[in-house]
A and B are shown apart, each in its own frame.
Chain A
Amino acid sequence: MISQFFILSSKGDPLIYKDFRGDSGGRDVAELFYRKLTGLPGDESPVVMYHEDRHFIHIRHSGLYLVATTSENVSPFSLLELLSRLATLLGDYCGSLSEGTISRNVALVYELLDEVLDYGYVQTTSTEMLRNFIQTEAVVSKPFSLFDLSSVGLFGAETQQSKVAPSSAASRPVLSSRSDQSQKNEVFLDVVERLSVLIASNGSPLKVDVQGELRLKSFLPSGSEMRIGLTEEFCVGKSELRGYGPGIRVDEVSFHSSVNLDEFESHRILRLQPPQGELTVMRYQLSDDLPSPLPFRLFPSVQWDQGSGRLQIYLKLRCDLPPKSQAVNIRLHLPLPRGVVSLSQELSSPEQKAELGEGALHWDLPRIQGGSQLSGLFQMDVPSSLGASGHGPSTSSPPLGLGPASLSFELPRHTCSGLQVRFLRLTFRPSGNANPHKWVRHLSHSDAYVIRI
């Protein structure tokens, strides 16, 4: 299947190189790839490239390039899946996937590659099978400590006891054999939803799309069985109806092959025996029919005096979440017409920040409480060579280049579809001792939230 595999840093430095078949080129192939990638014309896709009898396929993950070469006409889906799975495996073994961790664990990476691929064919990518063969230990940069309360990232959570696990909690190596008991026995379950919305200039939503995933990262010894209970009124498809009221509905759902669905029909409970490491338990999609209103509405008002070139934009951002929820790390990105060099601003509250960068306005709001609204007034001068005919102030057509506003935000403890994990119970633990910690988190974030002006 594949001839060579290599990993490059974001600048093109080769970190790992492995040749499986010895039938094409040598180490210089990595440099060749990077040169070709950076020299590619804009409309050609870099995903699959061809050079001298070899196809290069790569993915970008955490800033690194994972590249495979092949000379046969293989299935691109399988290859991409293999590369993603390799990225996840390396992340599991080294703690996280980055230039630093890879360079510290070169021996481990090569051992992994040896076991996963033989002569370019995939042997297995299951962590269960690999555990029996991998001997090398992962090297971590600093010892894990619960006192390190940096910002909350993925796999860090709040539980009923209001304890917060730091973001580094889940980034330690999964499969180490250190016998430090207090560090074992944790499981993180995240319900992550990506919200993709397009709102027209008159305020009506043109496209609403939610892609959700239930991601599990387990440090438990394999063989533990767990049950995940979802909201009982969870319905799949348009025709199903459960319980009373509108229920929580998704359009389509797909499960990992190892999930046992016996109790799903009756009680919406998933049973599985997760291997150590990361696993996507369930994926679902929902379009067009969200039970709750869209989290943000923008009310822009643009005044443009073409004679003097003065452009005044008043943006009112309203958050339609329930009053107890909030949104964090909100950033509004508004492209501006060409030639705008400076702007003046008036913001409604002191913690906001707005700046002009790369031809666009960046308005940063650290936190918005549900139900509240924030506004900002921006004034700038637009060079007069742009736009349609007509003189005098006009509010009808905005100048060319005043692009659609994109919002990026995170909604902690909120799912747009309404799906919630009711419980996470471990029914069987082979080691028997040490009550494991269970961290469950719900999070929605924006994938592409675009509002047209």
Chain B
Amino acid sequence: MPYLGSEDVVKELKKALCNPHVQADRLRYRNAIQRVIRMSKLDQWGQAEVLTFLLRYQPRSEEELFDILNLLDSFLKSSSPGVVIGATKLFLILAKKFPHVQTDVLMRVKGPLLAACSSESRELCFVALCHVRQILHSLPGHFSSHYKKFFCSYWEPHYIKLQKVEVLCELVNDENVQQVLEELRGYCTDVSVDFAQAAIFAIGGIARTYTDQCVQILTELLGLRQEHITTVVVQTFRDLVWLCPQCTEAVCQALPGCEENIQDSEGKQALIWLLGVHGDRISNAPYVLEDFVENVKSETFPAVKMELLTALLRLFLSRPAECQDMLGRLLYYCIEEEKDMAVRDRGLFYYRLLLLGIDEVKRILCSPKSDPSLGLLEDQPERPVNSWASDFNTLAPVYGKARWATIFKHQGTEHCGPKLPHTASLATSGHLISEENKERVQELQDSEALMLVPSCQLTAEYFEKTWLSLEVAHQQVLPWQGEVHPDTLQMALQVVNIQTIAMSRVGAQPWKAYLGAQDGAGCLFLTELLLEPENSKLQISVKQSEKRTEILSSFISVLETVIGTIGDMKS
């Protein structure tokens, strides 16, 4: 037990938190907690510990909640960052039903956090930046007026500069976009290659909203003819053209000339893709591709060769006269002389396709040139504070979401590994679960959150059999307008790991779809979507292979979110 100031303080705390009789009696528990809060002679470590203990407490009424918040108010002004941030977290969690209180607390913690971000201690600076990013996920405009504090200094270590660039990217708004872009532009010519590339990617991120200015800056950067800059700019252009088709014209004008400065695989792939898809607007596209074809024998990256095949075939469709000859040469090389089987396979496929006729080729290769809706799906929508409040002031934001997930998985497998044999208990889900999912199954036994397995492979027959054998667990009707676009819906569902077993064509009456998903613990969710002939209501029926209501409601909310997003985009 940490030393908390005096004997009676320790006694009170022990009473409140260890004595089951006190815990059983709500009134005594509450009184003990109140006494704990009113303790005055704690040092900063004691205060931090108290704040952590109080996370476990659920106030009974709104009055009590505000009472506690008022008592703890002074902790928010402490000079110790641990206490301030600990108090912030407690407020955020206690006030989870009062978003305006949460916003208020986050306003008050802005000052201390910004001071920590400019602290002399690099480590404190880094941790504060991670938490700032966490807050920006929910309140993107929160730090916009303080953007200057996040400008990078020359001597800062690389990891801090990267965080600051990310923060700058996320707090951009109409008022500060000019200055932020100018600052990022300065970083793009930095001596450090990694940092310059990170800055360019950041400009690409901002370009989704402020396209014109960013494209102009990126075009200027191409003019510098530096290899490490050019390759990243071309990759950014490729992503941008896909998400914001309105900038295609500007990009096409900027491209000629940069092929001399690209040497790495990623850059070449991006350039070749752009030339293939938009080659009709780029005057020297065939000549650039011809260069690549000439040198294909010495090309070391098979990915580049595959991209080259596809791009040349696409360009052939729009400019046949110029490309016919080199397409022939390329196909000959790929089929006869190429050693990489994937490339050879693709070459053969295209050859056979060409034999079937131009119409077939057009049907296969003329994919959409851009898909702005992907941007909407990819961009994280503003997440509510409650989704990350419990991670605040822990190590999770410091590692970042991706690494934290791997660490969690790591910890999970180590704990559960020796206990469960691999072959047992998975018989219910049949032979469909592959090896890699078994680990995940074991470790997620305890978690309540829904985690859908990405690679569940339900065959149609198995789906039908299971569907007929189960009863409907949940049925719901959503308002709907217009048609359903199957491709968009399928892609959206795939993002959240829901597999589409079967889907009617566009315009079919009535329109139906069958979806399947699998939980980490092996629980199956089978869903039917039915769109009535009048097109005004979408009926969702869900069947569950195991009866678990809390997971069912999580699944329903995931499904609703996806369908809601698709619905919003069209209306």
Contacts and interface: CB of A to CB of B under 8 A. Distances in A.
Nearest to A201: B186
Interface stretch (B146-154, B318-326, B346-354): B146-154
B148 A287 contact: yes
Given A47-B127, A50-B399, A77-B393, A206 B80 contact: no
B418 to A, nearest CB: 15
A211 B114 CA distance: 12
Interface string A198-240: 1000000011010100000000000000000000000000000
Contact of A196 (B153, B160, B190): B153
B414 interface: yes
A42 B48 contact: no
Interface string B119-133: 011111011000000
Interface stretch (A78-86, A313-321, A324-332): A78-86
A104 interface: no
B362 interface: no
Interface stretch (A31-39, A147-155, A183-191, A248-256): A248-256
Contacts, number: 153
Contacts of B118: 196, 209, 211, 285
Interface in B36-79: 43-45, 48, 52, 77-79
Interface centre among B120, B123, B226, by most A CB within 10 Å? B123
A81 B81 contact: yes
11 contacts: A47-B126, A47-B398, A60-B123, A75-B85, A77-B393, A80-B124, A209-B149, A211-B118, A283-B79, A400-B226, A452-B186
B521 to A, nearest CB: 23
B368 to A, nearest CB: 34
A23 interface: no
Given A196-B118, A254-B115, A400-B189, 16 more contacts: A45-B159, A45-B160, A47-B126, A47-B159, A53-B410, A60-B123, A78-B86, A84-B121, A122-B45, A123-B3, A125-B43, A254-B79, A283-B115, A404-B186, A406-B155, A448-B153
A190 to B, nearest CB: 14
B395 A42 contact: no
A76 B123 CA distance: 10
Given A59-B121, A404-B154, A48 B398 contact: yes
Nearest to B189: A400
Interface of B: 1-3, 43-45, 48, 52, 77-82, 85-86, 111-112, 115-116, 118, 120-124, 126-127, 148-149, 151, 153-155, 158-160, 162-163, 179, 183, 186, 189-191, 194, 198, 223-226, 393-396, 398-399, 403, 407, 410-411, 414
A401 B159 contact: no
A354 B108 CA distance: 48
B224 A256 contact: no
A399 B149 CA distance: 28
In this complex, the interface size class of chain A, counting residues with CB under 8 Å from chain B, is 35 or more
A44 B79 contact: no
A76 B2 contact: no
A400 B82 contact: no
Contacts of A401: 189, 191
Given A53-B411, A73-B396, A448 B79 contact: no
Interface string A10-49: 0000000000000000000000000000000011111110
Given A48-B399, A75-B394, A388-B225, A448 B154 contact: yes
Nearest to A254: B79
Nearest to A55: B395
Q: Which 10 A-B pairs have the closest CB atoms?
A: A78-B82, A448-B153, A45-B159, A122-B45, A77-B82, A123-B3, A207-B148, A121-B2, A76-B127, A47-B123
